[in-house]
Every structure is written in C-alpha cells, then in structure tokens.
Copies of this chain bind each other. A is one copy, B any other.
Amino acid sequence: MSAVSLVSALIQAAVGPDPADNVAKHVEAIKQAAFQGARIICLQELFNTQYFAARSISQPGPEPPPWAEPVPAGPTTRLMQDLARELGVVLMVPLAEAVPGGAHFNTAVVIDADGSISGKYRKMHVPHMEGFWERTYFQPGDLGYPVFRTAFATIGVLIDFDRHYPEVPRLLALQGAEVLYNPCTTVMDLSHYAWFIEQRSHAVANAVFVGTVNRVGQEPYSSGTYYGTSYFCDPSGEIIAQGSQDQDDIVVATLDLERIGEERRRWDFLRNRRGETYGLLAGSTTKKGEQKT
C-alpha cells in the first residue's frame, strides 16, 4: 500500500562536455530536491552526457559512446546508490548502459530508498531519424515493461520515444504503476506541438500520474533547442507543476495518490477494457502494405 501523498521531483539541466561535471551538478540538484521533500526523483534521459546520438552516422564521432558503463556495476550507479541511501530517496537514473560483448542500451536504473537496485528499464522504442540516430549506438530494449514496487509508490518508466506509443503506459498501468516517469531528450521544432498532448493523454487513459523530463539548452550536435518544460500531470491530465523552458530546474509536486482510485471509480477505464478483442495490437510489426506513405 503506497503512502497517500507523495512528493516527487524531476530534474532538468543543461549538460556540458565533461560527464563528471554533469554528474556533480545532478548530485547537487538531487540533494536540493530531497531537501524540498521529494521522495522519488527522476533525472533526464542520458543525464550525464551531451546527447551524442544527435550526431549523424556520417559525421565523425565517438563509437561506442565513451560514457556507457555497466549497470548496476558501473561507477555512476554505485554513486547514485550511495546517494539514494544517504537521502532515503528513490532515484530513477537514465544513462547509457554497456553490456558484455559491446552492445549498449539506453537504460534507466531504478534505485530504491535503501540504495538497493529495484531494477532497470531498457528503452524499447529506439528512434533512428534526423537528429536522433540512436540505433547507431543502442540496441532496442530486451527487458519488456517492468514496474518497480519502491518504498514510496509503484512506478514505471518509459524513455523518450516510448511516449509516442500509448501501448507502453497502458502496459505499465495494467501492472499496477501509479506514477509513470518519462525522461526525454527532445527539441522544440520536432516535438513541442505534442508535448502537452501525449503525456497528458497517458495520464487520462490510465488514471495515473505522469512526470516527464526534458533537458534544456543547445549542444554541439543537437538539431535544435532542448526545451525543458518538464512537468507533472495528475490522473485527469491536469498539469500540477511545470519547469522552465530554458533554465536548469527542479520540478517538485505533491502527488495525491488517492486521485488514482477516485478517477478509476469514476470512469473504470481499465476494468472495461476488452483485451480479448485487441489481438491485432500484439502481433508482430505492421505489414508493409499497411504503412500509408
């Protein structure tokens, strides 16, 4: 049973070329968020590095990414475990994961409030398009859609491009997730038009809270301006806290988890699903002929 009222935080930041500096900056922000009462804190996608995947495959660049490390055995996870234990907070830490054999995943590791590893999520939908050449670097995730029953709430994570798939929040909600965290790296000209539609629709459709994070600023290879505007919305899609569009920020909100039950008693969307009629959703990928071009 989760606490009724949960204070949670999203951390958005501009990042520089030195991963160590970026980690130090985030450690400071995590401490500030905890000082403000946050019990679950989510960082932005690939939080400790500039977004190297904005670099096209045809441009010179690092391969494999120099910032990937094993998870949880690597130094960043270890440091975050110590921090979570010290502060008594749950941390969601998105970073590039290196696995034996040379593959990499775009991962988020979830650390419980005692410093133990709750588990990890590997981004399932990996983009490969102008400014987001992630398949040059990352394998598609192979761990499915786990939920994490942490000290303060049952949570799920979907990383960036995953938010374009309403299937993902539904899969997490069906397994009991109360809050969905969505660390992102996205630019104004590409996605801003949908930033207040997609994540809010996930909250409404599933009667869950959603916290979505985006970095700020410009970086050497980025195809535009990262627009921050991290926010929390409640199970009716209402935005309850929102960050700056161009500054580092810590977005803190109090999530009244009883709102989930209230919304579900009112609408009962999940109970009225007709899963037995959704078979086509779970087949293999779309046939070419169905792709409208």
Tell me the A residues contacting B by CB distance below 8 Å. 124-125, 127, 129, 140, 144-145, 161, 164-167, 170-171, 174-176, 178, 193-194, 197-198, 200-201, 204-205, 207, 236-238, 260-261, 264-286, 290-293
Contact = CB atoms under 8 A, between A and B. Distances in A.
A130 to B, nearest CB: 9
Number of copies: 2
Nearest first, the 3 closest Cβ-Cβ pairs linking A and B are: A201-B201, A166-B166, A282-B282
Contacts of A129: 266-268
Contact of A281 (B140, B197, B278, B285): B278
Contact of A204 (B124, B197, B261, B273): B197
A274 B292 CA distance: 18
B197 A292 contact: no
Contacts of A207: 292
A136 to B, nearest CB: 15
Contacts of A125: 272-274
A166 B266 CA distance: 18
